[in-house]
Amino acid sequence: MTLFVGLGNPGASYENNRHNIGFKVVDNLIDHYEATDVSKISFYGELHKSNNLLFLKPTTFMNLSGKSIQAVQNFYKVKIDDIIVIHDDLDIPFGAVRFKKGGGNGGHNGLKSIDSMIGVEYIRVRMGIDKPTYKSQVADYVLHDFSKDESDMLDKWIYFVSKACQNITTKSLEEIKSTYSLKSIEKLDI
């Protein structure tokens, strides 16, 4: 079993926030695989399944994402090596994509929650959202919608990251890094 987790916050008011980019990629994967809804209250999230692939959008709000992941991991006996978390990242430019296994949480509350519940050795798909000028603006920045210019490029970016995720189960992490890592969205050619 492979578990793909998109991080975000539930509810229409958060739908297009920068913090919800992980949800958008998982929605794309659910559509691509025509995955079936297998959600249960005990999963604390929306869970879809297609063969041996699971797609999770925690509904616990960002700060408690680990609770949902741990519930699904325990139920389906998913190894930590087979958990892929797709999330926004303030430390890289908008449109950049990085892949890594393990590491720190960079102050990301969703990752802090996951790390405390299941450990750190899962794969991370880091989607750059850039950062505000001042650190005091971070909470407001991640909970705001993408700008008009950013929104115009979202579909292409989400499709690209979804394609990388589709290949992550059959290729090594090093192959994924060399094929799909992006320094900026301008480098995207699809």
Higher pLDDT, 108 or 86: 86
pLDDT, one tens digit per residue, over 128-140 is 999 888 888 988 9
Mean pLDDT of the chain: 94
Average pLDDT over residues 87-108: 92
Residue type at 95?
A: G
Nearest to 88 by CA among 68, 116, 121, 62: 62
* DSSP conformational letter for 88: E
- pTM for the structure as a whole: 0.95
Which of 34-43, 118-127, 139-148, 166-175 is the least confident region? 139-148
Beta carbons of 122 and 83 less than 8 angstroms apart: yes
Average pLDDT over residues 165-190: 86
What is the spatial distance between Cα 134 and Cα 186, in angstroms, rounded to a whole number? 25
What is the pLDDT at residue 44? 98
What is the pLDDT at residue 186? 67
pLDDT, one tens digit per residue, over 73-92 is 999 999 999 999 999 999 99
Question: Domain range for residue 161?
Answer: 2-187
Q: What is the sign of the dihedral through the CA atoms of 9, 10, 11 and 15? A: positive
Average pLDDT over residues 173-180: 94
pLDDT grade for 59, boundaries at 50, 70 and 90: very high
Could you identify the residue written with the tokens 């005091």?
A: 136
Q: Which alpha helices (DSSP H) does the chain contain, by range?
A: 21-33, 65-76, 109-118, 138-142, 148-167, 173-180
Token pair for residue 133? 């000028």
**CATH number, position 148:** 3.40.50.1470
Token pair for residue 145? 């919608």
Q: Is residue 188's pLDDT more than 70?
A: no
Average pLDDT over residues 60-77: 97
pLDDT grade for 170, boundaries at 50, 70 and 90: very high
Among candidate residues 19, 48, 87, 108, the one labeled active-site is 19
Active site residue 87: no
Q: Is residue 68's pLDDT more than 80?
A: yes
Q: How many domains does the chain have?
A: 1
What is the pLDDT at residue 122? 97
